Amino acid sequence: MSPYAHITGWGMCVPQRVVTNEDLSKQVDTSDEWIRERTGIRERHIAGAEESTATLATEAALNALRVANLSPDEVDLIVVSTSSPEHIFPATACLVQDRIGATKAGAFDLLAACSGFIYALNMASQAIRSGSVKNVLVIGSDTLSRLTDWEDRNTCVLFGDGAGAFVLQAGEELGGVVSAVMRSDGSGGDSLSVPAGGSRLPASAETVLNRQHYIHMNGREVYRFATRVMVQATKEAVGKADLTLDDIQLVIPHQANQRILEAALRGLDIPPERCISNVERYGNTSTASIPIAACEAIQQGRLQSGDWIVFVGFGAGLTWGAAVVKWTGPFLPHREIYPASYRAWIKLRSSLLRWLRRVEGWIWGRKFPEI
């Protein structure tokens, strides 16, 4: 019998700096009333100069490992879902792997925009169910503030930065990720995009002048798409799990816009008290929004072991998806994970490996020409 992929650890990290609607009203032609009426957002966290997608992902990952009581060197795979990677390559997941000391883990990035965490959760679950891995770290991390046009009031009010992470572990009992749905429609790709910076439109003076490295969005198209597919995906995932909506204790949706959440709940005929919403305090943190909301649900006592929950989201691509999860909790007994001395050792180890590669290159470079 294939093992189940249980969620045994969770963690989040958001930047210290908070930008309110009043702050934005000093930069662009907007107001707190205008923003809250259209989005439900009051404030968002914005990364500072020393913060990035990788630094936020690292802290969220360590927090999740502490909850799971799992040592970094026990992790088999790291999947980072992000639309704002540290670099085109190397993968942000590889940077996280190095910074947490996951010496036995493979690592890669996944790009499915705001749906990415659900995609990553499903891929990690299938890897566990296949028997190829036992412990997987799934991270959603984005700093969309770096891709935001702060002169465009229609988009700059929406996004915030943050990271959330889950630890998935193999277990024989029914639980964890029970079903999932992943869908896409590339015909709507231009509804939400960053036009330049890839191979189609490499960076140039022209693309910078035309502000093509920022987020471009057709808000009306995205709204209609989102409210439709969130209902469809939720119903489909619940049906695949042989459950009904009455069996679901909690829905944790992608936190894009309060109006979208309310419309989706009406379509599902689910009361607000069975849904998590924190978009007011974080804005749209993209792929990080679902795990951040899950962490807050646990802190508030709204998510308990044994509960049936649905994660559902949508994003650029266009992409959308949902997952039905039976919540579990930590497998392992409490132990001290990642003390300060271990963190210092990891930094030393990383520096030593870099030094050894340079020495190796110098020795072999005398015999072979440079590539």
Query: In terms of C-beta density within 10 A (0-12 exposed, 13-18 middle, 19 or more buried), how is residue 67 classed?
Result: buried
Catalytic residue from among 254, 257, 275, 295? 254
C-alpha distance from residue 216 to each of 111, 172, 280 (Å)? 17, 45, 22
**Given the residues 69, 122, 135, 284, the one annotated as active site:** 284
Catalytic site residue 210? no
Which alpha helices (DSSP H) does the chain contain, by range?
A: 21-25, 32-39, 53-68, 92-100, 116-130, 153-156, 205-209, 219-240, 258-268, 279-282, 289-299, 340-365
Structure tokens at 124: 């990690």
The alpha carbon torsion through 45, 47, 48, 52 (nearest 10 deg) reads: 160
Based on its alpha-carbon atoms, the radius of gyration of the chain, rounded to whole angstroms, reads 21
Q: Which residues contact 285 (CB under 8 A, 6 or more apart)?
A: 14, 44, 45, 142, 144, 159, 160, 161, 162, 255, 292
Catalytic, out of 6, 45, 69, 114: 114
Q: List C-alpha distances in Å: 255 to 267, 281, 306.
A: 17, 10, 24
- Provide φ and ψ at 285, rounded to 5°: -95, 20
Looking at residue 150, its amino acid is: W
38 neighbors 143 (Cβ within 8 angstroms) = no
284 is catalytic: yes
Catalytic residues: 114, 254, 284
